[in-house]
Structure formats: C-alpha cells, structure tokens
Chains A and B, each alone.
Chain A
Amino acid sequence: MSLEKTILIINRYSSFFLDGIKSTLIIAAFSVLLGTVFGTLMATMRMSRIKPLKILATIYIEFVRGTPLMVQLTFMFYGLPMAGITFPDISFIPNFSRYTAGIVAMSMNSCAYVAEIIRSGIQAVDVGQMEAARSLGFRHSQAMSMVILPQAVRNILPALGNEFVTVIKESSIVSVIGIADLMFRTNDVIALTYRSLECLLVAAVIYFILTFTSGRLVALTERKLSYGRK
C-alpha cells in the first residue's frame, strides 16, 4: 500500500465516492427520520393502556430486534416480490424500487430500536415529576408535554444520535440489494483498480468522518437542552 496510490485513487475516483456518500446519506437520513416518526408512534403504542396495541407493539419490537437486518432487507427486496408485493418503479427517479425497499427495511428496523430508546427515555424520568404535575391539577397529557417529555428528550437525544450513527454504518448493507451507496461504489472502484486495501481505507475514513460529524452535531444539540447544567 502506498500513500501516493491512495491519493491517486481519491483524485481519480472522487466522483464515485461522492456519489456513494450521497446515497448513503439519503438512505440514512430517510431511515432515521421515518424510524423516529414511526418509532415514536410505536413507543406510544408500547406504553399505551390499550392492551392489544401494547401487545402488537411489543411483538413488533421484539421480533425486529431479534432478527438480522440482512434478513429483513433481503426479505423486502427479494422475498416480498415472490408474494406479489413489489415496490413500484418511477421513471424519473432511477432505482426507485431499490431505494424504497432499502429505506423501508432500514426504517422499519430503526423504528423498533427508536421505540425502545424513547420508552426507556420517558421511563427514566422520575415518577415524582408526573405526580407533582398531576397534584397541581395538570391533565396527564399536559404533564407529559410540559414536564416529562422535555426531560425525556435529554435522555433520548444522545441515544438517538447513537442510533443515527449506527444507521449510517449499518446502511452499508443495502449494497447487497444493488443500491449504489458508499460501500457499493467502493466495490466499483476496487473492481476498476484492484486496489482493495487503499479503497477500503478511503471508505472507512469517509464512514468515520460521517459518523464522527453527526456525533458532534448531536452533542451540540444536547448542550442546548441542559437546563443550566454544565
């Protein structure tokens, strides 16, 4: 391995890598966004007093967390079509069905983890906070929005940041269904140059920059929510 060769590869194939970064970020951003939205919903169901909702959510969360993402992803893209369920293709967005399958699988997976993050974040808030709010005459929903959730967010946000970092890393798996993400593009460059070591090193550094940056951004937001604490 040589530094020169590495620089040469970066220079010559930068468009490959940039393309890959773009796809990786799109997949990760959509997955975390949808995962958070549905994860919140799932957490609400999981904590609901309505038994069937609670059971349904619990089964979903346990099942998704107990099966490999690889299985979930290939099931979406290769399994479902055999049952006649396909993600549609749209002419003006290339590879729409692949992306959709990838994002759906990733966000359904993330949803389960986010739901648990949110639930434990809420349950970590001292019960005395809810009791004090109720004793003043706040309704449950008011106490939730004014007292519990603002405190839960402080527990939830760091874990959610970690989840985003995890999704960025795990999204490299979507290359197996032919999505041209960073991992997929790296393999392209390897095929063209036969330089696995240098190419994988470049990919690793890029992944690291992506995860490290998002980690910092989360830490910054956290500090804003610290309510006067150092």
Chain B
Amino acid sequence: MKLLEITGLVARYGAGDVLKGLDLTVDEGEIVALLGSNGAGKSTTLRAISGLVANLSGGIVFAGRSIVGLKPEAIVRLGISHVPEGRRVFPGLTVRENIALGASNRRGVSRRQLAGEVEEMLGFFADLRRLEHALGWTLSGGQQQMVAVARGLMAKPRLLLLDEPSLGLAPLIVQQVFRIIADIRARGTTVLLVEQNAHMALGVADRGYVLETGRLLVSGRPDELWSNPQVRAAYLGGAAVAG
C-alpha cells in the first residue's frame, strides 16, 4: 500500500527551481533511500513533505490525503516525523526533555505515560541513559544524532524522514545508526532515508532513488542501482564510503 506519493513536485527558493518535477512513492513498511550529491535537492524534498517549503507545486499525498499547504505542526500530527539535517537538538534542554518534546504532536498523553515512553527510548538508545540530564549543547555529534532520532520516534510516526543521519559521525557510530534504522523498520515504521553515504543506505533500503540537481536520475532496488553504470560512476564510487 502506498503510504506517501509525490507527483510532479516543484520547489523554489527565490528565483530558481530546486526540485524540477519529482515523482517518488514510499510503500508502507519500506525503507526507501533518497541519494544524490550535495545540493541535489534531497533535504528540500524532505522539507517540502514536512511543510517547510512555502513555494511549491505538485502533489504530496500521505495515507490517501493531500498534505500540500498544511503547516509543519499539522503534518507531524498526521504521522510524519522529520529528523532534519544537522540534528537540531535543543541546546538548552536536557536529553530527557528533548526526547519528551518529540511527543508534542500527540494529544492527551499523560505526564506518566510520557515519562514511561521516554524511559523506553532510553532503553532503546542505551548510550543516552547516562546522559539523560545533560544539556543538548554538551553532546557529541553521535549522541545528538541518537537524541534526534529518539525524539523523532516519540511522535510514533507512520513515516520517519531521516536526513543524513550518518553525516559527520565516526564509522563505528555510523554502523550503530544504521542498525537502529533497521530496528525502527522492524518495529513497523516506514522510513524515507536521505543519505550521501550510498553504500550504507542501500545496505538497509528496499528501494532507492537517485536525485541529480532536482531531477530523478534513476530509481530501483539496491542491486539495480548497483549495476547501473551511470549511477556507479557518479554516486556509488569510492568517495561515497566516507563518513
């Protein structure tokens, strides 16, 4: 079943089109990777889905309902949680508080229930346990990424948007992050994953899309993308392993 369907998406910042007619679907239960070099429009795609791009045209349908023109607050309430580029952990709040705020899209969560769910997250991201009272700005990049993902999961989303979760992390931590992504899907959450690290992303994804300056270059299963010479040369070469 189609969970997200994007058709002919055009997004603009100022004068130029950043997305030039993008078609993309995500089925329920999938991990879909969105690949492409720096500046291709990957983050813009996620921002458009979340309602952060004012100037756009085309269709975005989530669970059978058009979400174009809705505010970010409304979109996350429908079940799309966005873990943005740069993690954006609140610097002046603690790990626990950051995570708890992830449930702000759900109504009627009691204090007690919220505390229980935060506990659950601290169990899932065991490294955060000893940091629960540390302020956001004191965390390392990898710790911030864990907090950002945990916070995103607190929304109990049907679709999780992850923007470059591996960026700037040490290889060991990257592997940990990708294990978590696989776990998240195993728990029933659909994931749209933006990555420059194509090797890792296609390792966990069911399907992938490759963007080039706002247009779709190619899409398909990981093995299809691996065997496409154009893609291999441009995006899946040695450079992509970095990070």
Judge: A and B partners, yes or no. no
